[in-house]
Structure 1
């Protein structure tokens, strides 16, 4: 069997396995984060989580298949390892960038939600009372 084909098979197996592992990890651990971002709406958090995982699979598996082609043929074991290391390294970098991008965007959304919650008073205002003036006001403290 041609070593280029062996390199392709190994690359696809490892890349797909890494993509599935990262997607499952992000899905499982990101659900809690999404529930917080979406103010406890569990159904919406599950739906957004599922959509993010599908998008993650599409982008990463699309990249993996587009990046499959090797312009130089693999002729020996050393070339096989070199080709695999470059390809898998790039795939890992893309997975990492995708992960950091997702976390960055979700953190921005979460911070915005926290700021909105802090601006909302815990109790609705009951009315307005002006400052006390006149003879019934408390005397000013002595210095």
Structure 2
């Protein structure tokens, strides 16, 4: 069997397995953030989480497929490892970047949700209370 084909098979198996593992980890742990952002709406959190996972798979598996081709023929085991190591390293870096990007977006969504909750008063305003504090004008006794 041609070692180039072996390199392709090993590259695809390892890359797809890593992509699935990272996607499942993001899905399982990211759901908590999404549910928090969406104020406990579990159905919507599950839907958004699923859409994010599908997008993650499409981007990463598309990259893995585009990066599959090897220009050189592989003659021995050393060349097999020489061909695989940079490819798998780049796939790991892309997966890490996608993971950090997802965490960044989820954190931004969560912070925005927390800020929106803090801006909403727990009780509707009852009217103007007037100035308060040491800078307020003293009340007259009339």
TM (norm. structure 2) is: 0.90
Q: Which moved more, 1:48-57 or 1:71-80?
A: 71-80
Q: Where does the alignment leave 5 or more consecutive residues of structure 2 unmatched?
A: 132-137
How far apart in 1 are the matches of 2:37 and 2:119? 16
Q: CA distance change for structure 1 residues 130 and 19 in 2, over 3 Å: closer, same or farther?
A: closer
> 2:2 corresponds to which residue?
2
User: Structure 1 stretches of 5 or more lacking a match?
Assistant: 137-143
Residue pairs, 1:15-30, within 5 angstroms: 15-30=15-30
Alignment correspondent of 1:57:
57
CA RMSD of aligned residues (A): 1.3
- Equivalent residue for 1:111? 111
Separation in structure 1 between the aligned mates of residue 53 and residue 67 of structure 2, nearest angstrom: 21
Say which of 133, 137, 140 aligns to 1:134: 140
Report the count of equivalent residues: 136
Indicate the larger mover: 8-17 or 109-118.
Answer: 109-118
More deviation in 44-53 or 105-114? Answer: 105-114
Show the counterpart of 1:70. Answer: 70
Give, in whole Å, the separation in 2 of the partners of 1:112 and 1:32: 15
Output the TM-score relative to the length of structure 1: 0.89
Distance 1:14 1:130, change over 3 A: closer
Cα deviation, residue 23, structure 1: 0.7
Structure 1 residue 37 displacement after superposition: 1.4
User: Structure 1 residue 129: deviation in Å?
Assistant: 3.4
Corresponding residue SS for 1:127: coil
**What is the distance in 1 between the residues matched to 2:12 and 2:73?**
17
C-alpha spacing 1:53/1:129, structure 2 compared with 1 (3 Å): closer
Using the alignment, how far apart are the partners of 1:118 and 1:130 within structure 2?
A: 22
Runs of 4+ in structure 1 over 6 Å off? none
